[in-house]
């Protein structure tokens, strides 16, 4: 090729810099501040309203009560990032708890109970993965079906929904410590949630798998053409999510000394809310572990604060709904203004 197309690199425009040469500085968009600001607003509000709110012991309570929701939200983060949604995350929590409690009740050693619980939860992930990536059912519908079936399964497994109780005597210390012990000054569930969140964050952000997962969640066909294994990666996202949710289930079984059917369902909607609040932290609306944890803190601090000021439970869902709505509506309005 003889064409010698010398192009002046920048500075060629007579007056001022060429637009193309300037770096897109990593400027924060106002919308990205919404979730942190809401968090701060909640802290300040209840700090003023209740003198017990900003105390060390209360914050410890908050952390302890947010650990399981945090794990559920981390699980949800993975699936949403892969372009899906997991309505069956509560079923995975429940099956994890059921497996662990049933095995402990049957006299197995703690580690067998833990592994057994996680395996039970993985069944949920495997079914989701097959339905979504092999059969090709939309994630919302596939996990909805799994949720319904899983709820029924719990009834059948427990003879019509009878809880399993683990008496102090028959529970080995090694299992009790999971829900009630401490490591490094943290409750074990809090520590477990932190470790789980760190691992998932590292895997999502620092591995090829996470890169492919993120791309496949946005544009599966572009990902496949780019050489990424979109299908198997998305499938493994459901497995990872179930594993993390199962961990929450095992901790729950230990914490509550047994298994109460449907207790995992409590986390599903809050986890979804937390994940989408967290997504506003990113300039492209991408879900992230950090964002989801911010969302979880918003929800838990809000509930805790409302309890402290003795707001009736009837108002609490309304308040949470309004906060969720406020963040998302504000984010949408800001996005429109930024055109």
Partner 1 sequence: MAAEVAPRVSLTGVRKSFGAVRVLDDVSLVVAPGEVVALVGENGAGKSTLIKVLTGFHRADTAVLEVDGRPASVASARDAEALGIRVVHQDRHLAGRLSVAEQLYLGRDEGGRGGLVHRRELVRRAERDLAASVGLHVRGDALVDDLTVAEQQLLQVARAVLTRPRVLVLDEPTASLAAAEAALLFDAVRRLAAEGVAVVYISHYLQEVGDLADRVLVLRNGRTAGEVSLRSAESDDDGGRVAGAERHALLDRVVELMVGHQVAGLGEREQRRPGGEPLLAVDGLTAPGAFTDLSLRVLPGEVVGVTGLIGSGVEALADAVTTGGTARGAGGRVGLGGRRVRSRRSFARAGGAHVPAQRRRDGIVVRATVRENIGLTATGQVSRWGLLLPRRERAVAERWVERTDVRPADPEALAGSLSGGNQQKVVLAKWLARGSRLFVLDQPTAGVDVASREQLYARIEEQVDDGAGVLLITTDLEELVGLADRVLVLHRGALVAELPRAELGVERLLAISSGQRAGRQGQEVPA
Ligand X SMILES: Nc1ncnc2c1ncn2[C@@H]1O[C@H](COP(=O)(O)OP(=O)(O)OP(=O)(O)O)[C@@H](O)[C@H]1O
Residues binding ligand X (CB under 6 A) = 19-20
328 touches 275 (CB < 8 A) = no
What string of H, E and C letters represents the secondary structure of 43-83? HHHHHHHCCCCCCHHHHHHHHHHHHHHHHHHHHHHHHHHCC
Binding site for partner 1 (CB under 8 A): 1-8, 12-13, 16, 18-27, 206-209, 211-212, 214-215, 218-219, 221-229, 283-286, 337, 339
Can you spell out the DSSP letters for 76-110? Answer: HHHHHHTT---TTHHHHHHHHHHHHHHHHHTT--H
- C-beta closer to partner 1: residue 27 or 168: 27
Selection from partner 1, ligand X, none that 226 binds (CB < 5 to 8 A by kind) is: partner 1
Q: Could you tell me if 65 and 107 are in contact, meaning their C-beta atoms sit under 8 angstroms apart?
A: no
Using CA atoms, how far apart are residues 98 and 252, in angstroms rounded to an integer?
10
Task: Find the radius of gyration of the CA atoms of the chain.
Answer: 23
Q: Two tokens at 189?
A: 């569930």
State the nearest-atom distance from the C-beta of 55 to partner 1, in Å: 40
Chosen from ligand X, partner 1, none, partner binding at 57 (C-beta under 5 to 8 Å by type): none
Residue matched to tokens 């961990």: 247
Nearer of residues 47 and 231 to partner 1, judged by Cβ = 231
Between the alpha carbon of residue 162 and those of residues 251, 261, 262, the distances in Å are 20, 7, 11
CA distance 145 to 302: 31
Give the C-alpha separation, 244 to 72, whole Å.
Answer: 7
Residue least distant from ligand X (Cβ): 20
If contact means CB under 5 to 8 A according to the sort of partner, which of ligand X, partner 1, none does residue 304 touch?
none
Nearer to ligand X, 20 or 159 (CB): 20
Comparison of 170 and 218: residue with beta carbon closer to partner 1: 218
Q: Closer to partner 1 by CB, 20 or 159: give it.
A: 20
The binder of 266, among partner 1, ligand X, none, by C-beta within 5 to 8 A per type, is: none
Q: How far is the CB of 20 from ligand X (least distance, A)?
A: 5
Query: What residue 218 binds from ligand X, partner 1, none (CB within 5 to 8 A, per partner kind)?
Result: partner 1
Q: Shortest distance, CB of residue 19 to ligand X, whole angstroms?
A: 5
> Which of ligand X, partner 1, none interacts with 159 (beta carbon under 5 to 8 A by kind)?
none
* The two structure tokens encoding residue 242: 């179930």
**CB of residue 339 to ligand X, shortest distance in Å:** 8
| Residue with Cβ nearer partner 1 (223 or 254) | 223
């Amino acid at each position: 090729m003889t064409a010698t197309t010398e192009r002046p690199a920048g500075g060629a425009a007579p007056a001022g810099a060429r637009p193309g040469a300037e770096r897109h500085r990593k400027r924060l968009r106002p919308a990205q501040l919404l979730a942190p600001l809401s968090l701060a607003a909640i802290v300040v509000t209840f700090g003023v309203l209740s003198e017990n709110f900003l105390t060390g012991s209360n914050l410890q309570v908050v952390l302890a009560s947010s650990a399981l929701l945090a794990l559920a939200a981390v699980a949800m983060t993975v699936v949403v990032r892969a372009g899906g949604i997991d309505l069956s995350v509560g079923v995975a929590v429940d099956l994890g708890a059921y497996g662990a409690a049933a095995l402990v009740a049957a006299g197995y050693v703690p580690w067998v109970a833990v592994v057994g619980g996680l395996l039970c939860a993985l069944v949920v992930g495997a079914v989701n993965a097959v339905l979504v990536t092999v059969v090709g059912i939309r994630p919302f519908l596939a996990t909805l079906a799994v949720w319904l079936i899983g709820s029924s399964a719990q009834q059948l497994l427990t003879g019509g929904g009878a809880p399993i109780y683990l008496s102090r005597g028959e529970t080995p210390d090694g299992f009790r410590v999971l829900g009630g012990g401490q490591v490094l000054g943290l409750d074990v569930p809090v520590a477990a949630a932190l470790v789980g969140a760190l691992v998932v964050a590292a895997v999502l952000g620092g591995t090829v798998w996470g890169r492919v997962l993120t791309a496949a969640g946005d544009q599966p066909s572009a990902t496949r053409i780019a050489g990424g294994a979109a299908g198997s990666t998305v499938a493994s996202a459901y497995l990872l999510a179930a594993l993390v949710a199962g961990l929450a289930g095992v901790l729950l079984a230990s914490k509550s000394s047994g298994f109460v059917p449907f207790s995992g369902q409590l986390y599903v909607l809050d986890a979804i809310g937390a994940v989408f609040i967290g997504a506003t932290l990113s300039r492209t609306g991408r879900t992230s572990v950090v964002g989801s944890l911010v969302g979880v803190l918003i929800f838990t601090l809000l509930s805790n604060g409302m309890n402290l000021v003795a707001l009736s439970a009837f108002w609490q869902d309304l308040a949470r709904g309004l906060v969720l709505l406020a963040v998302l509506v504000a984010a949408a309005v800001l996005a429109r203004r930024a055109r």
